Amino acid sequence: MIIGLTGSIGMGKSTVAAMFADEGMPVFDADATVHRLQGVGGRLVPAIEAAFPGSTVNGAINRAKLGAAVFGDDAAIKRLEAIVHPAVGEERGAFLAKHAGKHVVFDFPLLFETGGDRNVDMIVVVSAAPDVQRARVLARPGMTADKFAAILARQTPDAEKRARADHVINTDTSFDATRAQVRAVLASLEI
């Protein structure tokens, strides 16, 4: 079974993914995969540099420079996604082959936005109250209210994600309460 784990920015998805891993579930982290593919020697570095000249520093994609090149430009974002998404799909396929026959978790921030929800058996949405989400996001280095608003504008609204989920994990409670929700999802699989 493939569990699609998603949630908007600042909802605690990475924490929940780590909790699934702590419970023994193999987790494919789409964000970490992108970082690796764009890091020093990463296979996407040449293609991204060609599409967005000046985005590379010391053999790796500089996320701030790349962000400045695509921020607010839908066509540029689509060009970047056309480079990144197929490579992430290949990595996901290799992960599945490695863990064939096992229950796995796909940690995908843009599960709905990329149509990835069609490739999973169960959807788990990580959610928190809007004020908690906002506080978490604005506490991040380099984050501004404008950047936060732009990111939210490109993401499926939390209410819609929750409505499309098989399970919702609320993270505006304690870590123990969140872990209990993760374990409840796993119990539903009879693992």
The domain segmentation of the chain, as residue ranges, is 1-26+104-191, 40-98
The residue assigned the tokens 């069609």 is: 118
The residue-averaged pLDDT of 146-150 equals: 90
**Eight-state DSSP code of residue 171:** -
The residue-averaged pLDDT of 36-57 equals: 96
| The CATH homologous superfamily of the domain defined by 1-26+104-191 | P-loop containing nucleotide triphosphate hydrolases (3.40.50.300)
| Residue 53 to residues 36, 46, 57, 68, 148, Cα–Cα distance (Å) | 20, 10, 11, 12, 25
Distance CA 3, CA 106 (A): 6
**pLDDT at 189 > cutoff 90:** no
The residue-averaged pLDDT of 28-32 equals: 94
What pLDDT score does 44 carry? 97
Q: Give residue-wise pLDDT tens across range 93-128.
A: 999 999 998 999 999 988 998 899 999 999 999 999
Q: Pick from 169, 190, 184: which is nearest to 16 by CA?
A: 169
